[in-house]
């Protein structure tokens, strides 16, 4: 048996979840995901086999509670965290991670940018149940403590392997920009050029060294690494639009076409793929972007940052992104990267992070109801029952953020003899009046 292969109870072996699915094997991870998604194991296996669903599950992520990502499943959300110069205490950052998981984040991207990043990454994959993602190109400069132009293609690939060994479930790799992109960016004169942090690093490295993008040139070697550990590739969108004026332009679409080709090559290697998407996009272009991606990338799960539907709301970009995210997920996106009120302004603090997660959860849930995901609306129906019964504890139990809901109610309670209502309408509570009227009771407004 190949030492990289996993074995199921029947003795059958496989490398990745996709390999297993194609061999007709139901993995332990598939069993868990099928149950969570209220679908049969066989339905899920077929979707994993054809790449429409991924189960990012590195063999070395021992604490993982697996999730599936695909447009026909519940929409998942990602939260970016990590150790930085301003927050370098592992335990504090780990508390933020677990708080994000408690609020409903299914994925954490570790964007650590300070000191030795490996201990925190290893802490995540030994303690955190959420999917863990990283962006190895960010970490390369930090890991080697050398300037970008001194790094070699091998250096970048070694960091990908290091992250894979450490148990990371998915890696964002900006494989889709090439030397041709340098000419395109100059020729098409975008307003915002490249706004992807990883994309700008790859672009800068290519410009300084004169060499081809190593994540594109050595893609086959990367696929070998990903197959060995079952790391899902999240194909980064280096050319995602950074403002509405750049949305759906030649640079974005040309990169998307290349991402489609790279998706196919990964699938030929049984490597699972997510494709990353825009960015800043006018609301009327969001659905079309999702449809084009689904077509070009053959239904591979789409992972969107936002999309932000206007450029003028710094301080409120969690709302801008939730509007775009809801429409995107309803139209085919599978995975939303959270955006916080601090977007475009500063490193998010704890409150920003919470606001970003709640906004993304609302967008994801709204889309799941619209898509008809089995059972998605059950909790809304429970909330409606609790509201009708003026049962406040039951309402809090259904709330996405019970703490905030409770605090608002308790800070502004109605007068004593109407404590079953809230102070919004007080004595004129429509719910109370209707309940009483329908049961033949007297309505004591005064």
Annotated binding site for [4Fe-4S] cluster: 422, 425, 429
Cβ distance to ligand SF4 smaller for residue 204 or 424: 424
Least separation in angstroms between residue 414's CB and ligand SF4 is 7
Map tokens 């609301």 to a residue.
283
Cβ distance to ligand SF4 smaller for residue 3 or 411: 411
CA–CA distances in Å: residue 231 to residues 166, 323, 373 = 11, 31, 27
Which of 431, 435, 436, 443 touches ligand SF4 (CB under 6 A)? 431
Q: Which of 58, 57, 55, 60 minimizes the C-alpha distance to 44?
A: 55
Using rule CB under 6 A, residue 422 touches ligand SF4: yes
Least separation in angstroms between residue 424's CB and ligand SF4 is 4
Which of 79, 100, 171, 429 touches ligand SF4 (CB under 6 A)? 429
Residue 18 · residue 48 · CB < 8 Å: yes
Distance CA 167, CA 64 (A): 10
CA–CA distances in Å: residue 208 to residues 212, 213, 255, 320 = 11, 11, 21, 36
Least separation in angstroms between residue 426's CB and ligand SF4 is 6
**What are the φ and ψ backbone dihedral angles of 42, each rounded to 5 degrees?**
-70, -40
Query: What Rg do the C-alpha atoms of the chain give, in angstroms?
Result: 23
**3-state secondary structure at position 171:** strand
Which of 425, 435, 436, 443 touches ligand SF4 (CB under 6 A)? 425
The token duo for 314 is 């710094």
Residue 167 · residue 122 · CB < 8 Å: yes
Cβ distance to ligand SF4 smaller for residue 407 or 430: 430
Selected range binding ligand SF4 among 104-112, 252-260, 272-280, 426-434, rule: CB under 6 A: 426-434
Using rule CB under 6 A, residue 398 touches ligand SF4: no
Residue 308 pairs in a beta bridge with 280
Using rule CB under 6 A, residue 405 touches ligand SF4: no
Which of 430, 441, 444, 445 touches ligand SF4 (CB under 6 A)? 430
Selected range binding ligand SF4 among 97-105, 215-223, 348-356, 425-433, rule: CB under 6 A: 425-433
Residues of this chain that bind ligand SF4 (CB under 6 A): 421-422, 424-425, 429-432
């Amino acid at each position: 048996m190949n030492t990289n292969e996993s074995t199921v109870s029947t003795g059958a072996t496989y490398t990745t979840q996709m390999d297993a699915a194609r061999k007709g094997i139901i993995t332990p991870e598939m069993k868990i995901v099928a149950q969570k998604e209220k679908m049969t194991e066989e339905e899920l296996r077929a979707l994993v086999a054809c790449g429409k669903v991924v189960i990012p599950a590195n063999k070395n992520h021992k604490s993982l509670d697996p999730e599936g990502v695909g447009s026909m499943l519940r929409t998942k959300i990602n939260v970016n965290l990590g150790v930085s110069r301003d927050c370098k205490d592992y335990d504090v950052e780990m508390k933020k991670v677990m708080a994000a998981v408690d609020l409903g984040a299914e994925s954490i991207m570790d964007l650590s940018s300070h000191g030795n990043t490996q201990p925190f990454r290893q802490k995540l994959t030994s303690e955190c149940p959420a999917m863990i993602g990283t962006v190895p190109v960010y970490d390369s400069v930090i890991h080697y403590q050398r300037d970008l132009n001194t790094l070699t293609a091998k250096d970048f690939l070694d960091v990908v392997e290091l992250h894979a060994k450490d148990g990371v479930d998915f890696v964002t790799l900006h494989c889709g920009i090439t030397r041709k992109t340098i000419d395109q960016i100059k020729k098409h004169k975008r307003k915002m050029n490249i706004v992807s942090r990883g994309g700008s690093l790859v672009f800068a490295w290519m410009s300084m060294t004169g060499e081809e993008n190593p994540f594109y040139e050595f893609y086959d070697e990367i696929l070998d690494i990903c197959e060995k550990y079952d790391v899902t590739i999240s194909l980064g969108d280096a050319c995602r639009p950074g403002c509405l004026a750049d949305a759906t332009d030649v640079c974005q679409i040309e990169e998307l076409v290349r991402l489609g080709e790279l998706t196919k090559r990964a699938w030929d290697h049984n490597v699972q793929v997510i494709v990353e998407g825009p960015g800043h996009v006018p609301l009327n272009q969001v659905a079309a972007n999702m449809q084009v991606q689904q077509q070009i990338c053959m239904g591979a799960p789409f992972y969107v940052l936002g999309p932000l539907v206007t450029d003028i709301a710094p301080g409120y970009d969690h709302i801008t992104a939730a509007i775009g995210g809801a429409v995107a997920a309803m139209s085919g996106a599978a995975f939303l990267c959270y955006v916080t009120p601090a977007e475009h302004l500063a490193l998010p603090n704890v409150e920003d992070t919470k606001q970003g997660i709640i906004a993304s959860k609302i967008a994801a849930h709204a889309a799941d109801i619209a898509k008809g995901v089995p059972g998605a609306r059950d909790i809304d129906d429970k909330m409606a029952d609790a509201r009708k019964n003026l049962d406040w504890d039951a309402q809090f139990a259904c709330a996405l953020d019970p703490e905030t809901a409770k605090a608002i109610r308790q800070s502004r309670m109605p007068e004593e003899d109407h404590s079953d209502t809230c102070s919004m309408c007080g004595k004129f509570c429509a719910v109370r009046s209707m309940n009483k009227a329908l049961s033949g009771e007297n309505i004591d407004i005064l």
